Amino acid sequence: MSSAPSPAELLVSTDSLTACLRRLCRELTVELLWQGESELSADERQWLGAGERGWVREVCLRGDGQPWLLARSVAPLEAVQLVAGLRQLGEVPLGDWLFGAQGARRTRLAQLPAAVAMPALVPAPVNLWGRRSLFVDERGESLLVSEWLLAAYPGARQELP
């Protein structure tokens, strides 16, 4: 296990957060919170250039049992191959799939304000550090991934938002 980068350092990295978090603990697990077809927010539709509905997967990544990261992955329903892949992931980390055989590349990366968090999963007010990434695969299908580091993340003690 290595020392934890600060949230600011981690969230500007273009590497897989899954891989980084895995290096910081003995066991990284994925808790599938919810997945299914859902209405997308106006912000998500704008990033994806998509219609009102999409496939959504919400997870919590836990390092040694502690909740370190919440993530919401969104694909337009028209992205048939990406949706099929997301449906089958279950409790496999998205980063392993995206940075592995999927061959997707990140085309946009932005910091994400805490106010854009998943309100059903994150009670307000809470300090969160977040980012949003847009990935495009070799077929041109897009996937929007929003990630929020939680207070239990070991590097969170290094800085406050």
CA angle, residues 98, 5, 31, in degrees to nearest 5: 45
The residue type of 37 is E
Rounded-to-integer distance, Cα 15 and Cα 5, Å: 13
- Residue 154 tokens, joined: 């070991």
The confidence score (pLDDT) of residue 158 equals: 59
CB 40 within 8 A of CB 87: no
pLDDT digit string, tens, across residues 74-126? 999 999 888 888 899 999 898 888 877 556 677 766 666 655 555 555 555 45
C-alpha gyration radius of the chain: 15
Any idea where the domains of the chain sit in the sequence?
7-158
Instruction: Phi first, then psi: give them for residue 122, nearest 5 degrees.
Output: -120, 105
pLDDT greater at residue 23 or residue 159: 23
- CATH superfamily name and code, 7-158: Chorismate lyase-like (3.40.1410.10)
pLDDT digit string, tens, across residues 60-72? 999 999 999 999 9
**Residues recorded for the chain:** 161
pLDDT digit string, tens, across residues 34-48? 999 999 999 899 999
